[in-house]
Amino acid sequence: MSTKATRDPEATRNRILDAAEQEFAKAGLLGARTEAIASKTAVTKAMLFYYFEDKETLYKAVLERTFAKRVRAMQRMDINAAKAEVALRSFVQVFLEEISASTHMGSMFIYESIQNKGKYYQEIAIATLYAPLVAIIQRGVANGEFRKLDPVHTTVNIIGVCSFYFLVRENMKHLWHPTADLLDPEMIQQHINEAIEFILAGVRQTKK
């Protein structure tokens, strides 16, 4: 092991996780190459396995770190606001800000679904991530703020509205211009604004 890695093992571990996150986003667990991860991190393959037992262990560590980031983001959400609409607006705002800062993670989750049938995603407590949104929808329906909705289906649809823009941005950019940058801060902010209003309009109780 290099002297630098020995002196700061936590920094080395984080560099490995950063490189692994990018590699898994490109090819998923099955297609990712540990040699490429080691190369990007400027460590030997042996050192990589010193920190993580095998590729699967490294993959799970990347997922767990992502989960931890989203849990921290949830702590900024006003999910207990008196009005369910305020809570929903806060959830969507923070969720969109978080995924816009980690755009390649969406690709990793797509590979997780296709290759692993959600096996590892389930292990990192998916319910904890989305249960608060389900609860907001349930509360809004119960108090008459929202129309009659299935909370789980509505949660899935909301996450789709938020995420699709980032997942297929290289395809959808042609709706604007072939050289359009959908990750430009102004474009992201417009997406956030449009998504929030679209979602709220879809769940509100229709006035008679």
Alpha carbon separation from 118 to 52, 111, 112, 162 (Å, rounded): 21, 9, 6, 20
- The last residue of one of the domains, among 15, 32, 52, is 52
- The last residue of one of the domains, among 52, 72, 94, is 52
Closest by CA to 25, choosing from 62, 51, 61, is 62
- pLDDT recorded at residue 125: 66
- How does pLDDT run across 91-134, given as a tens digit for each residue? 999 999 988 988 878 888 899 999 999 888 887 766 777 889 99
**Same structural domain for residues 73 and 41?**
no
pLDDT band at residue 69 under the 50/70/90 scheme: confident
| Termini Cα distance of the chain | 70
Look at residue 170 and give its three-state secondary structure.
Answer: helix
- pLDDT recorded at residue 122: 81
**Same structural domain for residues 82 and 168?**
yes
**Same structural domain for residues 81 and 171?**
yes
- What one-character DSSP code corresponds to residue 35? H
**Same structural domain for residues 48 and 68?**
no
pLDDT band at residue 7 under the 50/70/90 scheme: low
Instruction: Quote the pTM value.
Output: 0.84
Q: At what angle do helices 9-31 and 55-74 cross, to 10 degrees?
A: 110
In a domain, residue 66? The reply is yes
Please give the single-letter amino acid code of residue 184: D
**Same structural domain for residues 88 and 191?**
yes
Which residue range is the domain that position 44 belongs to?
1-52
In a domain, residue 103? The reply is yes
Q: What are phi and psi of 205, to 5 degrees?
A: -70, 130
- pLDDT recorded at residue 208: 60
User: What is the C-alpha separation between 114 and 112, in angstroms, rounded?
Assistant: 6
In a domain, residue 208? The reply is no
- pLDDT recorded at residue 121: 84
- pLDDT recorded at residue 3: 46
User: Does pLDDT of 53 surpass 70?
Assistant: yes
**Same structural domain for residues 82 and 153?**
yes
- pLDDT recorded at residue 71: 79
> How many independent structural domains does the chain possess?
2
pLDDT band at residue 1 under the 50/70/90 scheme: very low
Q: Is residue 59 within 8 Å of 80, Cβ to Cβ?
A: no
Closest by CA to 73, choosing from 56, 93, 47, is 93
The CATH code of the domain that includes 6 is 1.10.10.60
**Same structural domain for residues 14 and 91?**
no
The CATH code of the domain that includes 195 is 1.10.357.10
Our CA angle for 180, 182, 185, nearest 5°, is: 115
